[in-house]
Amino acid sequence: MLAGLLALSLAALAGLLVRVALDGGHLGGAEGFVAVDQLQYLNWIRQAGDHLAVENLYDLAPGPRGFVHPLVIPSGLLSALGAGPAVAYLVWKPVAVVALFAGALLYARRLVPATGDRRLAVCLALFMASPVSVVGWTGVLSSERELELDFLTGELWTGTYLWGYPFTAIAVGLVPLGLLAYERGRSTGGGRWLALAAGAGLLCSWLQPWQGATLALTLVAAELVVGRGAPLAAARRLAPTLAATAAPLVYYLILSLSDASWERAGVANDVGLFSAGALVAGLAPLALPAALGARRAPADFAGTALVAWPLAALAVYLQPAGTFPAHALQGVALPLAVLGVLWLRGVLGERALPVALVAALALLLVAGTAYRADRLRGAVESGFQPYFLTGGERDALAHLRDADEEGGVLAPYYSGQLVPAHTGRETFVGARSWTPDFDERREAAERLFRGELDPAAAEAAVRASGARYLLSDCQGRAPIGADVRAFTDPPRRFGCATVYRVRPR
């Protein structure tokens, strides 16, 4: 299963590399379902290599450099030493695989007695792509409902984290490891284990606030049930882990209140909750057997925390503070799988796992995984996201990266997403959550590069943006040389891509 998880983590990247080998070009730096997310991480890594702390480069405006990330900083230093942001980001992929596997394996060993049952629980937790999602192949749902169900099942599936989101995968793996460390420290009185639990909570919250909050709520709920006879002792045990876990949450709150970019991103990412039907349908394959298995959980701290974990994740999902509540469901497959296997063992008694059942589950896992892979294939082949660069686009971005003169870039939205990650420069329009007045800026950039502006209007638009450079990519842009000639230097051409330097007034 460890080998399978590693293969799954490399599958998307391998597919993109095969595409480049067959069709030419270069990788843009993204491998997940939403390319701009990975390009944002590469942007942070490039900045961290120079400054440690990072700022928003998607608004073409000065801003505070107030964000630090515990894993972006070492990647930034590695990038600054010559590895480059993409390689410096990929080094976390094997770490993510180990974190997920170790968390699932050790947690199942603690709570599932029989070896075969443990293997089933670990397999379901790591590879379960909800079979409900394959309804998208049938075409019976509206596009809106299909997208909603797709999104929900993707949040539950481990492959989503391993395809471009190693920081998420590490945070998800830290939740069970933090629970196990706390339980060990609680039972032995070992301060070292409680310190490890606090460290897991700190890093987990910093990487993914939703998982950090879930870990904290699970520990509190379990102590309220098991440690109610000695509340002061329970409070003393909990205090270090809760304080460490809460620190990054407070940090993110301060950022959202003090930095306009973080406040804007919070509003843009306030996407609301899933419909009740989608939530029930997406969770049911794991949640129904888990609910039946709750009675079979051990009557100790670990068993109580096992039952509390999915409920804590649901509470984090439903509570009104913060943004992007769907992320609270990430990682919940592990406790649901363990509870479901405990229920199955209660039904089977001493009998071995039926071969037919194992075969049916394997078929469902394969079908769900194939569907997720097909969805990524569709995202790549649609051409709307910059997974690939032509040779000209790569050279144009390298020219902007190495140019001596400072200044931001005005480019179409497609290549605007690439500019901070590949050049370290500000862009007029990029990630939707971090670009002010995104729709207006996107339309203004597209009109310029579609050739719809006369020379006077083009100059007014470019001057208003504050950009020092214009980048026309290879995605079928109109020739705008005549429109911008009056206020730009002679263009630098890189195959089908062109860079214009805007002259000062």
pLDDT, tens digit (0-9, with 9 covering 90-100), for 374-405: 999 999 999 999 999 999 999 999 999 999 99
Six-digit token pair at 128?
């379960």
160-176: average pLDDT: 97
Q: What rounded mean pLDDT belongs to the chain?
A: 95
Checking if the pLDDT of 140 tops 90, the result is: no
DSSP reduced 3-state for 409: strand
Give domain limits for the chain: 31-90+390-501, 93-365
Which has the minimum average pLDDT: 273-277, 301-305, 335-339? 273-277
First and final C-alpha spacing in the chain: 62
Q: Is the dihedral of CA 488, 493, 498, 499 positive or negative?
A: negative
- pLDDT tens for 101-127 read 999 999 999 999 999 999 999 999 999
Pair type for strands 409-410 and 469-472: parallel
Q: 475: Cβ–Cβ under 8 A, 6 or more apart, which residues?
A: 412, 414, 415
- pLDDT tens for 214-245 read 999 999 999 999 988 889 999 999 999 999 99
